């Protein structure tokens, strides 16, 4: 069964493999298949679920809410996010203004069919809204009982520190950061992780398998397998393109296969276990289009990779690892005022 870890300095325990439905529910995967994947997650002990209002333009939240409505709410940890626009995309439908946060939390709760979310996350940093306004609005969602804890996603170290100061002043718990992190993408290690440790946050990481590249199924010089993310025109192909364009990187990834074999793991399980070796990582988000993927991924929970094999992984990937901390803001919107 999947193991639990504490999230930040809080008393909240979440499963170290968390089920996420970005690019799947309401989009790539039909509802029956989505339900089968969520049920498989529950069967292997995953009780933490991550979504966002913007995923499939609210459909992902709605699908997840329908699937989970028969489960005991107290036994689940449900996370969602706010920032990006949904619906008609009006003037106030984007960002972290008080208006957008208060309207968005109500919409998310309705779609998720729950009175509260365990974790409400700022999906990006809003340069156009005073941070004080954002944090006060988050504090009010907590005091109203609509969210238990607050988190952020893809924020820089300085932004995390500033938000942490305000959270303490407002007596709310800012406990998590949700960044991209994998063997190939380590931009959080030099700045975001130390800042998070200092402020009492831990990481819930997305794309731990680098959009599927670290499964080893994308072979150098060969076409992408039929039905893979690289062939999905709804968004998956665009997200994975930067990895697949680098043939040397794909060759380096193939060097990980003997290491996985030595541990009795698949390449995907090795990638998940690798991110969980970082003490500041509370959970790795997994997605799935088939139940067997969930069951396979669950086997990465509790795996300890010996130090010598961690070194061999670094040697195999070499200079293909991206580490520049400035890339934390790569996908962040620029100030618009």
Q: Which residues are catalytic?
A: 55
Q: CA–CA separation, 248 vs 241, rounded Å?
A: 14
Q: Which helix (H) or strand (E) holds 78?
A: strand 77-82
- Give me 137's structure tokens: 């609005």
Q: CA–CA separation, 161 vs 163, rounded Å?
A: 5
- Give me 133's structure tokens: 């306004």
- Give me 68's structure tokens: 């989970």
For the beta carbon of residue 178, count every other beta carbon within 10 angstroms. 26
β-sheet bridge partners, residue 147: 117
Q: What is the DSSP string of 4-47?
A: EEE-TTSS-EEESEEEE-TTSBTTTB-HHHHHHHHHHHHHTT--
C-alpha distances out from residue 52 to 60, 262, 264, 313, Å: 7, 37, 34, 33
């Amino acid at each position: 069964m999947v193991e639990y870890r504490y999230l930040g300095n809080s008393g909240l325990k979440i499963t170290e493999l968390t089920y996420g439905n970005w690019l799947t529910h309401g989009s790539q995967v039909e509802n029956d298949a989505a339900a089968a994947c969520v049920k498989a997650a529950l069967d292997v002990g995953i009780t933490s679920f991550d979504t966002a209002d913007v995923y499939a333009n609210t459909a992902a939240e709605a699908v997840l809410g329908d699937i989970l409505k028969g489960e005991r709410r107290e036994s689940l940890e449900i996370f969602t996010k706010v920032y990006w626009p949904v619906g008609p995309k009006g003037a106030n439908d984007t960002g972290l203004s008080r208006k957008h946060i208060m309207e968005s939390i109500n919409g998310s709760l309705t779609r998720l069919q729950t009175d509260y979310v365990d974790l409400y996350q700022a999906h990006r940093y809003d340069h156009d809204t005073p941070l004080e306004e954002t944090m006060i609005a988050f504090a009010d969602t907590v005091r109203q009982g609509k969210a238990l804890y607050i988190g952020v996603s893809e924020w820089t170290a300085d932004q995390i520190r500033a938000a942490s100061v305000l959270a303490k002043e407002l007596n709310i718990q800012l406990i998590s950061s949700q960044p991209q992190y994998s063997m190939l993408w380590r931009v959080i290690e030099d700045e975001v992780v130390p800042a998070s440790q200092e402020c009492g946050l831990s990481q819930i990481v997305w794309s731990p398998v680098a959009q599927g590249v670290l499964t080893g199924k994308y072979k150098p010089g060969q076409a992408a397998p039929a039905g893979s993310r690289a062939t999905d025109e709804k968004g998956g192909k665009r997200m994975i393109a930067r990895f697949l364009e680098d043939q040397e990187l794909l060759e380096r990834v193939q060097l990980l296969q003997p290491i996985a074999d030595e541990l009795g793991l698949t390449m995907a399980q090795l990638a998940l276990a690798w991110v969980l070796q970082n003490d500041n990582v509370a959970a790795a988000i997994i997605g799935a289009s088939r139940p067997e993927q969930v069951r396979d991924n669950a086997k990465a929970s509790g795996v300890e990779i010996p130090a010598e094999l961690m070194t061999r992984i670094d040697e195999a990937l070499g200079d293909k690892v991206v580490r520049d901390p400035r890339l934390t803001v790569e996908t962040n919107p620029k100030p618009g005022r």
